[in-house]
Each structure stands twice: as C-alpha cells, then as structure tokens.
Amino acid sequence: MVFEDIYEHYWQKIFRLCMGYVNDSEMAQDLAQETFIIVWQQLPKFRNESSIGTWIFRIASNNCLRQIEKEKRFSKTDLPINLEEKKQESMEPQIQMLYQLISELPETDRIIISLELEEVKQAEIAQIVGLSEANIRVKIHRIKEKLTQKFKQNGY
C-alpha cells in the first residue's frame, strides 16, 4: 500500500471528519495533517485486521478527541481580549451551519454522524466507535432527527 495513494484517497474525508469535530478549517487542516503523519509513521505496522479506511478513521477520531481534551484544559478566556476568532467565509451557509451543529453534539455523536456523512459503512462505524451495528443505526437516526430539528430552529 503506497502512502501517496492513501493520502490522495482519504485526505478530503479526513479533513471533513475533523471539521465535524472542531468546526474550524485551520484546526481541521492541522488535525488532518497530524493524522496522516501518524498514518505514515504507523503504516508499516498496519496488520490488515480491518480495512485501511477504518484504521485511518480511527486514528483521525482519536486525534480529534485528544485535541478536544486539550482545549478543555486550555480555556479560550485565557487568550488576549483583542484577538478575534476567524471563521471560514467561503463555505455555503448551510454547510457552515451543519458543521456548527455537528460540533455542538456530544463527542460520540460527532464521530458517528461525521463518518455517516463520509458514507462509511455502518459496520465500519460500529468497529471504529466500538458499538453494535444496531446501536449505530439507532444513533444515526436520532442524530439526524436532532440535526434536522436544529436546522429548522435556525431557519433552514
């Protein structure tokens, strides 16, 4: 398996997964890059016990969860007051709203819906998250209902 091919095939998917976690394109890009550094370093150790995609998504998910934990320990209120957060303006408003709503979900729901949006098979999602397929189907249904409701509340 050639790293360049893996990178080409999975870059956008991993970036979007990270966007679902952090709702910040620069941070998502950093997380995606970190993910591929880990993939490159660990590729010789990959044992084909799962698909390469499942393995990469698990690495990305763990990487994003570590970042969220770091952020919880470092409050944004510690930043100087005159700094403002920059938002990505080039995305369509609905897509921006979707990332915003996904980023407000509990951590497990974020990973599940982000993987579902990447059209990862539910069996793989179950393997990545460590839940049963039946539980994943129920969770996806509930998450979609919750997101639809929030979209309507926000006038979409």
Q: For 47-75, what is each residue's pLDDT tens digit?
A: 888 899 999 999 999 898 888 777 766 55
Terminal-residue alpha carbon distance, the chain: 43
Structural domain tally of the chain?
Answer: 1
Full residue range of the structural domain in which residue 86 is found: 3-153
Weakest-pLDDT range from 10-14, 40-44, 79-83, 124-128: 79-83
Q: What CA–CA distances, in Å, run from 82 to 71, 77, 85?
A: 20, 11, 10
pTM over 0.75: no
**Which pLDDT score, from 0 to 100, does residue 86 have?**
45
Residue 141 maps to which CATH number? 1.20.140
Q: Give the burial string for 30-62 (b: 16+ CB within 10 Å, else e).
A: ebbebbbeebeeeeeeeeeeeebbbbbbbbbbe
More confident residue, 129 or 133: 133
